[in-house]
Each structure stands twice: as C-alpha cells, then as structure tokens.
Amino acid sequence: MGCLPTKHVRDSPRSLGVHEAVAVSAESSFTVSEVEALYDLFRKISNSVIKDGLIHKEEFHVALFRSKSKKKQNLFGDRVFDLFDQKGNGVIEFGEFIRSLSVFHPDTPEEQKAAFAFRLYDLRQTGFIERHELKEMVLALLDESNLDITSDAVEMIVDTTFDQADVNRDGRIDQEEWNVFTKDNPYVLRNMSLPYLKDITMIFPSFVIHSEVSEADMFV
C-alpha cells in the first residue's frame, strides 16, 4: 500500500465499480471504502466548472485553495496541480487524484512524502533544488498563507536550509541530500500529512490541501 504502481488501472471511470475501487485502493494508502468516498468528492470537483469528469486547473484551485481569481498567479497551486497531473495532459483523472492524494495520507512512508516535496521545489525539473527555486517557493507559500515577513527573514530561511541540506556545498540540493535533510528535520514534512484522510469515510470536510500547520513553519 502507498507505492506507485508500474501499471495503472483505467482512470476517471464514469461510475466506480467494485473492481475499480479495489484496484485503485491497491495503488494507494486508502482502503476501498475510502476510495469510494473520495470518488464522490472527485466527481463534485471535476464537474464544478467543466462537466467532463476531469479536474481542470481552475477547478483544482477553487476546490483546494479557495482561489477564484484568474488574475492572481498561484505558483504553489500550479506546482501541486502539475504533480497530481501525472500524465502531463493538463487534467487530473481519478486514478491520478487518488495516487497523488495518497502521498498525504498519514500511513504513507516518509520516503514518498520527501520525494513529492522534492519534486515540488524542483521547479525546473532538473533533479536539483536551486537556491532561487527554494526562495520562489517560500515566497509562494507565504503568499498563499497571507503571511507577510521581511525579505531578510526569507533570505534567512533559504540560507539556513541550504546550510543544513547542501552537504557537498555545490549550491544546490540533490535528492539524496534532501532525504537526509528531511530525516534530520522531520518538521519539514509536517504539511505532507493530512490526518483527516484516515477518517475520510466519517469526516467529509471542505477539501483544502493545507493542514493546520502554516506553510511557513516548514522552514522555521
């Protein structure tokens, strides 16, 4: 459970049958009943703007970030959408939704959470987190949280992270360095676990990806 499969089941079924629910469950940290509950949620999100059973970026922003403004760029939201969109075809299908959301399940191994977070910060998809990429994401997270801190404080967050994570001092953080950093600093992944996902069949919250921990806390 919790491991990404080598072969995916059919995505975005019009109706979720027992076999589909079992197959999707096997690809994630969710039980079959949780997959069924999440399918109802997926249908609501995927038909909220464009009624095609697929989650488009606008629907994703509105549902997960309560962002209805088309003028305001949301780097954090865009990055999360891109990672959920595993096929890279501009929409999120049901299988992608479950597999990606599974990363945030409390029972998912920390290694998978760290890998997702690494990809989140690797904006240019080079296999490294550059200093300017980390700064961009920190600013985006602060903006999403409506937190206003000084530029000096932002620089301090970036400098502190690189001082600890960039072990070989080459000015960038690779996946191995990131894995060690997150193990030594588990608070970095606190936002990667959403406790209510363990009770999805009992609690059907307004679906917002942020946990109660502020994004800024990831680096302080």
pLDDT tens digits for range 62-94: 887 665 544 456 788 899 999 999 999 999 999
The distance from CA 58 to its chain's CA centroid, rounded to whole angstroms, is 16
**Residue 127: is its pLDDT beyond 90?**
yes
How many other C-beta atoms can be found within 10 angstroms of the C-beta atom of residue 27? 20
pLDDT bracket for residue 9 (50, 70, 90): very low
* Residue 199: pLDDT band with limits 50, 70, 90: confident
Q: Which of 90-104, 107-121, 145-159, 197-211 has the lowest mean pLDDT?
A: 197-211
Looking at residue 179, its amino acid is N
Residues in CB range of 110: below 8 A, 6 or more apart = 182, 183, 186, 189
**Mean pLDDT for the chain?**
84
Across 19-33, 60-74, 92-106, 142-156, least confident range: 60-74
Q: Which of 147, 148, 172 is nearest to 161 (CA)?
A: 172
Q: List Cβ neighbours of 51 (8 Å cut-off, separation of 6 or more).
A: none
Report the candidate in 88, 67, 90 with the shortest Cα–Cα distance to residue 77.
67
- pLDDT, position 80: 93
According to the model, what pLDDT value does residue 16 have?
84
Q: Is the pLDDT of residue 41 over 70?
A: yes
Question: What integer pLDDT is reported at residue 208 of this predicted model?
Answer: 43
pLDDT value, residue 90: 97
Q: Is the pLDDT of residue 53 over 50?
A: yes
Q: Spell out the domains of the chain, with CATH numbers in brackets.
A: 18-108+194-210 (1.10.238.10), 110-192 (1.10.238.10)
Of 3-12, 92-101, 122-131, which gets the smallest average pLDDT?
3-12
* Bridge partners, 128 (sequence order): 174
Give the pairing of strands 128-130 and 172-174: antiparallel
pLDDT of 60 higher than 70:
yes
pLDDT over 50 at 209, yes or no: no
